[in-house]
Structure 1
Amino acid sequence: MRERPQSFPSVALAKLVQKGRKITYGIVQPGEFVADGVILVRGRDYSAGWRDIDGFMRVTPEIDAPYKRSKLKPGDLVLTIVGANTGTVAVVPAWLDGANITQTTARIAVDSTKAIPGYVEQVLRSAIGQEAVYRFQKGGAQPGLNLADVEKFEIPLPPLPEQRKIAEILRTWDQALEKITALRALNIRRRVWFRTHLFTGKVRLPGFTGEWREVPLSDVLHEHGSKSTGAEEVYSVSVHKGLVNQVEHLGRSFSAANTDHYNRVLPGDIVYTKSPTGDFPLGIIKQSKIDREVTHELCHVAEPHHGAAFFELLDKVMPDWERRKQRLERAMA
């Protein structure tokens, strides 16, 4: 565990909970979804911020009744104790008052006379809390934490006013990051809309007219089939970053010992991988982007040969291409 400041005593989490509401997990077998039932909180419901109320699982009052010990109140903490998101923590909002939890979630009812719930949340989310999770986490196919171990988590405890101030500062940063994340998600949806509508010709940009036509992909691109010499660096295709060096991006190379059979990617090449992702179920398409060569290859899309039309087009899209070419050649010499 990392060192704590001398002035902050460390207190076991079990000593910070409300009397009669010890750290506990919830319903073991929730049964079928019931539209008007009791809300059941699972780790997925808060792993990326609280989901909308309509997305929660609900159980019958009969299933909920034996688990009164794990009922939630506003200000309680929920901590994922089983699965890939073990260690994820959140503060229960007022609109989840009376909800229950599953057996994969622990309820931590912090006594506000001893600690500020928002402060304890931030400690559990910090390196201090995550180190405790790592230390006590049990391995196997389903990683997890025992409640007895969660009770041992040590919380550095400054005076209550200082706890409150620390929680306020960190929560302000959290809210700012949440807004940035939401804005990014909105911009991604807008980009998807533009791609979906502009490429069909059904929505036209102002000032543009004329008919759209469809041609076979082979009319504008060809697979050159150049093979690796074995000396090139091995790159992977990333959804968000395009072509990335495996060692730099992933920490190590996943390539075979002999890469002679790998395809060589030239500057400006369009690269396709069949590996599906959630956003790209049919695979990923990216372009290798390097200054002049990118423009060179983009011109090839419109004019596949190095004739007069090719250089005429190159002059239009990059008038200083010859200077760039000389600079690139000097750098490669």
Structure 2
Amino acid sequence: MQMKDLPEGWQLIQLRDAVTKVGSGVTPKGGKESYQASGIPLIRSQNVLDGVLDIKEVAFISEKQHRQMSSSAVYAGDVLLNITGASIGRSCVAPHGIGEANVNQHVCIIRPTAIITPQYLNLVLCSSYGQRLIDSYQAGGGRQGLNFEQIKSFPIPTPPVEQQRLINGAITTWDDALKLQARKLQQLRKRKKEVAFRLMSGTKRLEGFTGEWRNAILSEFFARLTTRNAVGNTNVLTISAQQGLVSQTRYFNKSIASEEVSTYYLLNRGDFAYNKSYSAGYPMGVIKPLTQYDQGIVSPLYICMRPITNDGGFFEHFFEIGILNRGISRIAQEGARNHGLLNVSARDFMELDVRIPEADERRAIAEVLNTATKEIRLEEDKLAALREQKRGLLHQLLTGQLRLS
């Protein structure tokens, strides 16, 4: 962005000329062992989200450590910017009422002067302009880290303060709409999960179905899939709990697969894969079908299988709500975890017990849940459209193409 591109009355200023502080903290002596159950909040990169400070799982340090780290004390109105790691570039404003707090070395404090409001500066950093700026300082696009001199040199398009406040007010209104839509989505997902669990566990029966459920094993409904990638497919997939089986390049913005992928398993649309990685909210891993591509390949660390019955998508919902977790926990070897993976053998997995209704009831349950899924996806599309519209509006406001009065 050049000065000639800005409206009359705007300035393109280096951040150093509009702040009284750019700096971060340190890891307290003793590292994690020094954290306490209560005390002074220590803000880390996982607490700084896009435009929001999330302190639900904040660490705490002692008042003595806080005093020793006085140069990195946080005050209301400070802009907090993640400067290292995968979350580099996320920023938020420390809210009023934050009280005493501190940051570690991964979070930079930017303290603006009266020239620029904290809310406006945060909007610039969160915008596509700000993110491109941050990317431009990363050698090779690796986004490994920012230093303070780089941050101070950021060119910030700066309108008069009153215009900054109007811009922030307009975006706040948009954010309120986004929050309402996100809350609606959350409620729909919660409702679907509750209905799915009741239907899948048999505590609620659909009208017209009274037959007894039976005990079976997973291999009655799936055949284990071990087809190697002999066709040279290069669509390497990974499992996301939210997005399902997706391309690695789309999920990570790069491929993290081995150069040699001929040993990877080849999946067709409708096949399932089980990622044995455990994570928060998914202690027994994730099982997802391939729905977004006709074919793809996955690491041989995954357990893959192909449906041999027509259940109308019943098992996609069955796996999604975690009914298999208890069984997986039973067959996983305690204490034997390799590279973050549960030690679950394919043979034991395919022999897991399932309590199941007959085929016609499975298809009826799937139809109910498929309808709920379609409703959720419509609302997800609305949320995505709102976010895209906000990005477009923010770009117009930050470049002065759209003036508020």
- Secondary structure at the aligned position of 2:310 is classed as helix
Q: Show CA shifts across 1:241-282 (max 9, x none).
A: 5566778888898698886985463x6x44224453646543
CA 1:72–1:25: 2 relative to 1, 3 Å: same
The aligned residue for residue 285 of structure 1 is 288
Judge conservation of contact 1:27–1:101 (CA < 8 Å) in 2: yes
* AA aligned opposite 2:129: I
Q: Show CA shifts across 1:196-227 (max 9, x none).
A: 33222134446643422122333344458778
* AA aligned opposite 2:134: V
The aligned residue for residue 308 of structure 1 is none
Judge conservation of contact 2:25–2:103 (CA < 8 Å) in 1: yes
> What fraction of aligned residue pairs are identical, expressed as a percent?
24
Distance 1:289 1:22 in 2: 47
- Secondary structure at the aligned position of 1:156 is classed as strand
Greater shift after overlay, 182-191 or 247-256? 247-256
* AA aligned opposite 1:22: K
Distance 1:65 1:288 in 2: 54
CA 1:125–1:233: 2 relative to 1, 3 Å: closer
Judge conservation of contact 2:53–2:93 (CA < 8 Å) in 1: no
Higher strand proportion (structure 1 or 2): 2
- Secondary structure at the aligned position of 1:285 is classed as strand
The aligned residue for residue 310 of structure 1 is none
Task: Describe how 1:62-211 pairs up with structure 2 within 5 A.
Answer: 62-111=64-113, 113-137=114-138, 143-205=144-206, 208-211=209-212
Q: Show CA shifts across 1:22-56 (max 9, x none).
A: 2221244254223341111112112253324x522
Distance 1:89 1:197 in 2: 40
The aligned residue for residue 29 of structure 1 is 28
CA 1:156–1:261: 2 relative to 1, 3 Å: closer
Judge conservation of contact 1:276–1:284 (CA < 8 Å) in 2: no
Judge conservation of contact 2:228–2:262 (CA < 8 Å) in 1: no
The aligned residue for residue 326 of structure 1 is none
* AA aligned opposite 1:188: R
User: Match for 2:47 among 45, 56, 64?
Assistant: 45
Greater shift after overlay, 98-107 or 216-225? 216-225
Distance 2:85 2:212 in 1: 54
Distance 1:156 1:33 in 2: 40
The aligned residue for residue 310 of structure 2 is 298
CA 1:97–1:146: 2 relative to 1, 3 Å: same
Distance 2:6 2:167 in 1: 17
- Secondary structure at the aligned position of 1:106 is classed as strand
Q: Show CA shifts across 1:72-101 (max 9, x none).
A: 222211111222211111011113132111
Judge conservation of contact 1:235–1:243 (CA < 8 Å) in 2: no
The aligned residue for residue 212 of structure 1 is 213
- Secondary structure at the aligned position of 2:80 is classed as strand
- Secondary structure at the aligned position of 2:124 is classed as helix
Distance 1:276 1:91 in 2: 34
Q: Does 1:6 align with 2:6?
A: yes
- Secondary structure at the aligned position of 2:21 is classed as coil
Q: Show CA shifts across 1:142-171 (max 9, x none).
A: 921111221111111111121111122223
Give the TM-score normalised by the residue count of structure 1.
0.70
* AA aligned opposite 1:284: I
Q: Measure how far apart 1:61 and its partner are.
A: 1.2
Distance 1:22 1:256 in 2: 45
Q: Measure how far apart 1:12 and its partner are.
A: 1.2
Greater shift after overlay, 275-284 or 231-240? 231-240
Judge conservation of contact 2:238–2:248 (CA < 8 Å) in 1: no
* AA aligned opposite 2:156: I
The structure, 1 or 2, with the larger RCO (C-alpha pairs under 8 Å, 6+ apart) is: 2
CA 1:187–1:211: 2 relative to 1, 3 Å: same
Give the TM-score normalised by the residue count of structure 2.
0.59
Distance 2:48 2:129 in 1: 21
